[in-house]
Chains A and B, each alone.
Chain A
Amino acid sequence: MKATRFLLAAALGAALALPAATGLGQTVQINGAGATFPYPIYSKWFSEYNKMHPDVEINYQSIGSGGGIRQLSNQTVFFGATDGPMTSEQQFAAPGAILHLPTVLGAVVPIYNIPGVDTQLKFSGKVLAEIIMGKITKWNDARIAALNPGAKLPATDITVAHRSDGSGTTYILVDFLSKVSPDFKSTVGVATSVNWPVGVGGKGNEGVAGLVKQTPGSIGYVELIYARQNKIDYGAVQNMNGEFVSATLDSVTAAAAAATKAMPKDFRVSITNAPGAGVYPISSFTWLLFYESPSDKKRSRIMMDFMKWALTDGQKFAAELGYAPLPQDIAVLAMAALKRISI
């Protein structure tokens, strides 16, 4: 018994002595949390930055845009990330002024899993809204068939897969749907967490992708990269011009063109349902959130250095991960805005 007692004590002692032993006091760790939408590019960025500066560890956890905003307001993380800009109430509730800095552009695509259908389906905004609201319940409904002559739509029930957590991806979708369907706007509304009329909830972009991949007859919405990575079919959506556009780098960049000319000072702008040719209508900026006057100047300096890199060299990683890099003019505006953050 003495041996066991000794072993237990030794294990305990070792576990508690570890911090001293590993001498990790040199590195700086910065915690951030928020959107799952840009997680692929952010994880790439933080990893690349860590390679260039091994003493800086930026720990980003994708818990959803709502989470990013909440934890930033609670100051349990140093920076947040969101695809749905903070509302006035949220900004008011935060203990300090928060700056939205755009990082990349992304697209939310409607993914579906319909056995027997392997062509890309076309959705109009109104039809998509009605499916999500549960007003269209079968795949072979006339309204879907009218947009897709030639597609062999089965009589399967439609299962809607949505987010069970607070999500900027949700925000982007419902923002678009509320613009094209007044009915949707009054029934569901626009927020990171809504009261879904029908459907199953999955956690994160990952959860929704997983649900759709495994459930025949289902439809969901995820950021483009998740659809591509999972090799799930996604549809083309009708834009303001009437064209059915699929999400590509060009169509997403086109969506930002109108905003570029009239970017508000706080960068909180919605580019869903943007006018113009070749525009993908469910596009959005995604933002990193920083306090304008943080008390931790050291971390602030590091993050601003990171942002300078992200807005310039970092942009080259965007395309291969399915995001559109920021239009040059906006990147310049963002760089200028960095000065607003006190270091």
Chain B
Amino acid sequence: MNLTRRRKLLSGLVVFLCAAAVAAALVPLFFVFAYVLQRGFSSLNWDFFTKMPKPVGESGGGMANAMLGTVYLIGIASAVAIPVGIIAGVYLSEYGTKPFGTLVRFTADVLNGVPSIVIGIFAYGLAVLPVKHFSALAGGLALGFMMIPIITRTTEELLNLVPGSLREGSLALGATRARAAFSVMMPAALPGIITGILVALARIAGETAPLLFTAFNNRFMSTRLDQPISSLPVQVFTYAVSPYDDWHRQAWAGALVLVAFIFIFSVMARVVTRRLERMHRT
């Protein structure tokens, strides 16, 4: 076989292998999703969404408190992370070339890579021990800390993509830098920033480890900041490692709801990105 034939065959082989890699990645995706769907779907009923857990030995009950708890924790996390993340992102895009900007960028990346369990330990020392009780606030803080780097970096990158002429134009018209940043640049970059927020939400919605010793868990419905609160991931975990079949069924249903939740965030993020691309392509 001459050299050209061999090179062409090799190239074809590589193309095939790369396509196979994509297929290989999609196999577990479908596998897992189908399994969760199959195990969980039959246990989804009205009770599941509206009732509280029942004690051992009594069948039925639901995960209403866990679902509400997850929404609540996400709310607290967002309230903490969105302002800090966006404003820090604005700083980086305006003044990011200075050494301090590099430091901030670097620490944001480091924070992104910190394992969630370590963040849990930190939140435990910060928000649980001093006040001597587990709380939704501590759990929300832990999740919020994890969201901050994603929002910061996305905000910075999106603001950098807005044409500099926009900023220059508004400055030329007499706006302060603050005005230019918040009233002109941000709205232009907003879809991307929202994408960043949605991505961050998808990231933390399924986190279990940092909640284990901050928000703890709660058999009852609770919306108080200073009490333990239930959450879907923790409740699913608790039920899953139990020996009761009824609880296993509910764990799968909870897992399905959790996956659907995160799926929706991811889809929304994608839709927003697509709209942004379309907006700027015209």
Q: Would A and B touch once assembled, by the CB under 8 A criterion?
A: yes
Is B88 part of the contact surface with A, judged by Cβ < 8 Å?
Answer: no
CA A19 – CA B224 in complex, angstroms?
6
Contact A22 B241, CB 8 Å, known A15-B74, A16-B79, A76-B133? no
Among A47, A50, A320, chain B packs the most CB atoms within 10 A around the CB of A47
Q: Which residues of A contact B219 (CB under 8 A)?
A: 43, 46, 57, 59-61
Is B221 part of the contact surface with A, judged by Cβ < 8 Å?
Answer: yes
Question: Considering only CB atoms, which chain A residue lies closest to B229 in the complex?
Answer: A59
The A contact surface, by secondary structure, is: helix
Q: Which residues of A contact B55 (CB under 8 A)?
A: 40, 43-44, 46-47
Is B244 part of the contact surface with A, judged by Cβ < 8 Å?
Answer: yes
Is A321 part of the contact surface with B, judged by Cβ < 8 Å?
Answer: yes
Is A260 part of the contact surface with B, judged by Cβ < 8 Å?
Answer: no
CB of A205 within 8 A of CB of B243, answer yes
Query: What's the least CB distance linking B76 to chain A, in Å?
Result: 8
Is A134 part of the contact surface with B, judged by Cβ < 8 Å?
Answer: no
Number of interchain pairs (Cβ within 8 Å): 105
Question: Considering only CB atoms, which chain B residue lies closest to A71 in the complex?
Answer: B134
A contacts with B, residue count (CB < 8 A) = 45
CB of B54 within 8 A of CB of A47, answer yes
CB of B75 within 8 A of CB of A11, answer yes
Is A229 part of the contact surface with B, judged by Cβ < 8 Å?
Answer: yes
Interface residue tally on B, bucketed by range: 35 or more
CB of B194 within 8 A of CB of A8, answer yes
Is B225 part of the contact surface with A, judged by Cβ < 8 Å?
Answer: yes
Is B242 part of the contact surface with A, judged by Cβ < 8 Å?
Answer: yes
Is A209 part of the contact surface with B, judged by Cβ < 8 Å?
Answer: yes
Is A230 part of the contact surface with B, judged by Cβ < 8 Å?
Answer: yes
Query: What's the least CB distance linking A264 to chain B, in Å?
Result: 30
Interface 1/0 per residue, A67-96 and B, CB below 8 Å: 000000011110000000000000000000
CB of B228 within 8 A of CB of A31, answer yes
CB of B241 within 8 A of CB of A207, answer yes
Is A285 part of the contact surface with B, judged by Cβ < 8 Å?
Answer: no
Interface 1/0 per residue, A1-31 and B, CB below 8 Å: 1001100100110011011001010010101
CB of A24 within 8 A of CB of B191, answer no
Interface residues of B (CB under 8 A from A): 54-58, 68, 71-72, 74-76, 78-79, 128-129, 132-134, 187, 190-191, 194, 197, 216-225, 227-228, 241-244, 272
Given contacts A39-B56, A76-B132, 17 further A-B contacts (CB under 8 A): A1-B190, A5-B190, A16-B79, A18-B68, A24-B221, A24-B222, A29-B222, A31-B133, A31-B216, A31-B227, A31-B228, A40-B57, A59-B219, A76-B128, A77-B133, A207-B241, A229-B243
Interface residues of A (CB under 8 A from B): 1, 4-5, 8, 11-12, 15-16, 18-19, 22, 24, 27, 29, 31, 33, 39-40, 43-44, 46-47, 50, 57, 59-61, 74-77, 202-207, 209-210, 213, 226, 229-230, 320-321
